[in-house]
């Protein structure tokens, strides 16, 4: 999916923010500063730079910008299997568009309502509002899960069963602080560690 430098999900927010800032400048003068701070924050939040994924055929790439908060063997409840889970936490200053970690076909999509605890916590994976994709690849099945955070209130996913995704292809967006969990076959080898900063569509999370 092609997209502009500024995410389309933010166009209305930015229009409102900059309109309010301009009007505040006209009518309030110096008191308009808080309006401009909000407008600039919204502009940086909804930025969505193009990314070129690595060409390595065996690479699984990060679906989001942020920080690694989990690298562990767990049970993937979506596909009922043992899996390697790698989790990326996004704060409000990270790019929030989500990209496919692998080349593959969408075989399942599950949306689950839930709470909005801090996405940095482990329980966010099972308690928060989330949207999961089952992506079938020649190397094995991958589950990529968008998870809402403490102040996130909107998970957007633009793909359906039968769609095909390429690594690095944009497929969704989460508004304001969140997390993405990636479940891989246990044979995959993690290439990142907890605390590491990653770039969506570019950093290699694991290899097959």
**Domain count within the chain:** 2
Q: For the chain, what is the mean pLDDT?
A: 89
Name the token pair of 165. Answer: 């995704």
In a domain, 17, yes or no: yes
Q: 124: pLDDT confidence band, cut at 50, 70 and 90?
A: low
pLDDT over threshold 90, residue 126: no
Catalytic residues: 178
Residue 180 and residue 120 share a domain: yes
How much is the pLDDT for 160?
A: 95
Residue 63 and residue 36 share a domain: no
pLDDT digits (tens, 9 = 90+) for 46-93: 888 888 898 888 999 999 999 999 999 999 999 999 999 999 998 888
How much is the pLDDT for 194?
A: 96
Residue 160 and residue 106 share a domain: yes
Residue 91 and residue 25 share a domain: no
pLDDT above 70 covers a percentage of the chain that reads 90
Cα 87 from Cα 68, distance rounded (Å): 6
Task: Name the residue range of residue 75's domain.
Answer: 59-207
In the predicted model, what is the mean pLDDT of residues 165-192?
Answer: 91
In a domain, 78, yes or no: yes
Residue 108 and residue 15 share a domain: no
Higher pLDDT, 56 or 175: 56
How much is the pLDDT for 96?
A: 82
pLDDT over threshold 80, residue 206: yes
pLDDT digits (tens, 9 = 90+) for 90-113: 888 888 889 999 999 999 999 988
Residue 161 and residue 117 share a domain: yes
Name the token pair of 172. Answer: 């969704």
In angstroms, the Cα distances linking 203 to 122, 197, 199 are: 22, 9, 5
Q: 1: pLDDT confidence band, cut at 50, 70 and 90?
A: very low
pLDDT over threshold 90, residue 4: no
pLDDT digits (tens, 9 = 90+) for 144-171: 999 987 665 678 899 999 999 999 999 9
How much is the pLDDT for 47?
A: 85
Residue 92 and residue 31 share a domain: no
In a domain, 54, yes or no: no
Higher pLDDT, 45 or 151: 45
In a domain, 200, yes or no: yes
How much is the pLDDT for 150?
A: 67
């Amino acid at each position: 999916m092609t997209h502009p430098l500024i995410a389309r999900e933010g166009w209305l927010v930015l229009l409102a923010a900059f309109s309010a800032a301009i009007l505040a400048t006209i009518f309030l003068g110096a008191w308009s500063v808080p309006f401009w701070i909000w407008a600039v924050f919204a502009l940086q939040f909804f930025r969505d730079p193009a990314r070129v994924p690595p060409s390595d055929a065996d690479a699984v790439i990060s679906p989001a910008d942020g920080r690694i908060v989990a690298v562990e063997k767990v049970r993937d409840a979506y596909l009922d299997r043992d899996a390697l889970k790698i989790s990326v936490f996004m704060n409000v200053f990270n790019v929030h568009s989500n990209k496919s970690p692998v080349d593959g076909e969408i075989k399942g999509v599950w949306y689950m309502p839930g709470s909005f605890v801090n996405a940095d916590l482990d329980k966010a994976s099972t308690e928060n509002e989330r949207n999961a994709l089952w992506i079938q690849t020649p190397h094995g099945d991958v589950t990529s899960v968008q998870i809402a955070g403490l102040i996130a209130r909107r998970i957007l996913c633009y793909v359906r069963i039968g769609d095909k995704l390429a690594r690095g292809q944009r497929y969704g967006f989460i508004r304001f602080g969140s997390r993405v969990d990636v479940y891989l076959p246990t044979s995959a080898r993690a290439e990142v560690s907890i605390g590491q900063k990653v770039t969506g569509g570019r950093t290699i999370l694991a290899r097959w």
